[in-house]
A and B are shown apart, each in its own frame.
Chain A
Amino acid sequence: MLKINNLIVSINDKTILNNINFTFEKGKTYAIMGPNGSGKSTLAYSLMGHPAYQLSDTSTIELEGTNITEMEPHERAQEGMFLSFQSPLALSGVKVYQLLQLALSGKKDPLQIRNEAKAYAKELGISEDLLNRPLNEGASGGERKKMEVLQAAVLGKSLLIFDEVDTGVDVDALKSISKFLTKYKKDKTYIVITHYNRILHYLKPDQVLIMVEGKIVKVGGPELAKKIEDEGYETLT
């Protein structure tokens, strides 16, 4: 599904990710954990193609057999990738409907997009008012995360990366987001970046990856997340 080879990433000449090699398999759920500054978000951004991050010449990223290393973010999206942002921005004057319509132009009928968005919003507990406002304007942290999940559902991508979708979210919102993601999991691949085990109770990762200082230092099953929660990262290093 997603094959990362020799991924070395730097920003302003400072190396953040140091030789990451991993293959994410189709249909599985992965959790990525690690202390602050270990490079989790950088990994998410570089996979999506953020222009500020420089990849070394030897780095390659393959999605379903296609080399996407040189692709623009929107081309990666078209290949099936989605990134749920850690801090989703507010966009003045741009409604979520408009955004989805532009993203799906020629692929889905605008009316269908609207109906789907409304139905998903209801499931997630997003108010009509929020849907009709410019995206995330005056929205709380929890509402913003829900909007990310809603977009993921309407866009219908196959590889979804959630960067701290559980941060700044209250217990009820976490529950509805987790339930939603579980319900629509089907054969999608999830990569869940998180600091906490609580979301993993719902999403039940197949594998847990631990990142420290820009490297994957340990890979294990769900019990690894539990262990981290109890003992912290120090025992690993």
Chain B
Amino acid sequence: MKAQQDKQKKELQFDYKYGFSMPEKSVYKAKKGLREDVVRMISKIKKEPAWMLEFRLKAYKIFLEKKMPKFGPSLEKIDFDDIYYYLKPTEGQVNSWEDLPAEIKETYDRIGVPEAEKKFLAGVSAQFESEVVYESVTKELTKDGVIFCDMDTALRDHEDLVKEYFGTLIPAHDNKFAALNTATWSGGSFVYVPKGVKVKLPLQAYFRINSERFGQFERTLIIAEEGSEVHYVEGCTAPIYTSQSLHSAVVEIFVKKNAHVRYTTVQNWSTNIYNLVTKRAHCGENGFMEWIDCNIGSRITMKYPSVYLHGEGARGEVLSIAFAGKGQIQDAGAKMMHFAPNTSSRIVSKSISKEGGRTSYRGLVQVSPGAKNSSVYVSCDALILDEESRSDTYPTMKIKEDDVEIQHEATVEKLGDEKLFYLMSRGLSKPDAESALVLGFMEPVTKEIPLEYSIELNRLIRLEMEGSVG
């Protein structure tokens, strides 16, 4: 058993600590840099309808006009001219594991994708470079009228649905990176759950970037009709490269009356990647939106999943973990907008910083006039592992209604020597003791994510801790 553990550990270390890359075999690669002709080219290759091309071109203009964000970590090292904006790995889509190109399969085998899926998952959709190349949706889903496919397919096969919702929650002018994504998007997932349908098993997608200086701009759209339920899970791991990479996604979610959507992310981008993501959900009457967001990797992450509580009695939750190691900045948080009476929101943020890493909680809670009897709960806890590391909290509350219940808690703690000594006196090595305490700190969030992800997350943290102690 010990030998097996060691072996697993070795494999994991290989995957996550040093990264790996497979030879590129791209069928098409756009030139570096973003110009109007590149945007046109992307749309043409995908054989998109004219309205989408218009959408992209408009967004491209907005991207040029928009300034970089005025808050958060510096993004000045991103060189937009040094990025490929489109790559198409293989012609067409494959529906089974066997049909995948050998090196893609090998990559997935290394991160252990398919084994876990076979047991737990209803549908699989894995993104390799910019297009979903592997996807299997069970008959069960199709029978219930659930649509789960990549965005390119959705635009082709369900154009009306896409046209009705695409970009309505996060318009291109929302921010510079939303504009960039709208102009250059490729891949991502589309989920449609019809009225009253409850999808029992989580829908799952894996994302990878496997090409140097290649920006990935996936676009995800989830529509949960009245009384429906769905849990979507995305997990990312990426090989490590020497130059900068950009991942800038947009996720739009529509939670209709009495519907429930849970969106879980386990993000472990390699530490050269800028991860700048806009995620937003619109929540109707008595709807319930949950974001569970775990950020372990990337060089800089800026991500503030938000819920717009438009319907009476709507609920929104953001549970998040941010882990910042050497050279990393995790600027994460949440945004809750209360527009209707009896709405409630809950934000639980746990951040860990070590070896000079920085975490920030940046949150906004807004309660509009008339959103009576609403409740707000914000709790952000930071754990700092050493003297060089840092954690900041930027909570903003704009409360324009008197009849509101608000709770806000924030704690900052250091990993206590006494706790470490206690655990070590029981026979735990220092890294074991530290990771036990870190995992314990994260437990309120990790217990909410699917088992196989929490196991992977725990292993990752364990490896991170091992690295921090000489």
Binding site for B on A (CB under 8 A): 48-52, 72-74, 76-78, 82-83, 85, 88-89, 91-94, 98-100, 102-104, 106, 134, 151, 155
Contacts and interface: CB of A to CB of B under 8 A. Distances in A.
A106 B425 contact: no
Residue with the greatest number of chain A CB neighbours at <10 A, chosen from B417, B422, B430 = B422
Nearest to A103: B427
Nearest to B426: A103
B436 A102 contact: yes
A93 B435 CA distance: 11
Given A74-B424, A94-B440, A134-B440, 6 more contacts: A49-B424, A51-B417, A82-B426, A89-B419, A92-B440, A93-B443
A8 to B, nearest CB: 21
Contacts of A51: 417, 421
A99 B423 contact: yes
15 contacts: A48-B421, A74-B432, A82-B425, A83-B425, A85-B425, A88-B422, A89-B418, A91-B440, A92-B443, A93-B442, A93-B443, A99-B428, A99-B436, A102-B436, A134-B443
Nearest to A151: B426
B436 A73 contact: no
Q: What band does the interface of chain B fall in when counting residues whose beta carbon is under 8 Å from A?
A: 20 to 34
Contacts of A77: 424-427
B147 interface: no
A155 B426 contact: yes
A163 B419 CA distance: 17
Contacts of A83: 425
Nearest to B440: A93
Contacts of A93: 439-444
B50 interface: no
Interface of B: 1-2, 5, 417-419, 421-430, 432-433, 436-437, 439-444
Contacts of B430: 72, 74
Nearest to B2: A106
Which 9 interchain pairs have the tightest Cβ spacing?
Answer: A93-B440, A93-B443, A77-B427, A73-B424, A103-B427, A94-B440, A74-B424, A106-B2, A103-B426
Main secondary structure of the interface of B (DSSP, over half): helix
A210 B443 CA distance: 45
Given A51-B417, A52-B417, A103 B440 contact: no
Contact of B424 (A72, A89, A155): A72
Contacts of A76: 425
A51 B439 CA distance: 23
Nearest to A104: B427
A104 to B, nearest CB: 7
A102 B425 contact: no
Nearest to B422: A89
Contacts of B419: 89, 91
A85 to B, nearest CB: 7
A95 B427 CA distance: 16
Contacts of A48: 421, 425
Nearest to A45: B421
Contacts of B429: 72, 74
A99 B418 contact: no
Contact of A106 (B1, B437, B439, B443): B1
Contacts of A72: 424, 429-430
A161 B332 CA distance: 46
Residue with the greatest number of chain B CB neighbours at <10 A, chosen from A98, A99, A155 = A99
Given A93-B444, A94-B440, A102 B432 contact: yes
A229 B425 CA distance: 32
A82 B427 CA distance: 9
Contacts of B427: 74, 77-78, 103-104, 155
A2 B73 CA distance: 56
A134 B423 CA distance: 14
A96 to B, nearest CB: 10
B257 to A, nearest CB: 36
Contact of A85 (B422, B428, B436): B422
A76 B425 CA distance: 8
B297 to A, nearest CB: 22
A73 B424 CA distance: 6
Contact of A73 (B1, B425, B437, B443): B425
A50 B443 CA distance: 28
Contacts of B426: 74, 77, 82, 99-100, 103, 151, 155
A82 B424 CA distance: 10
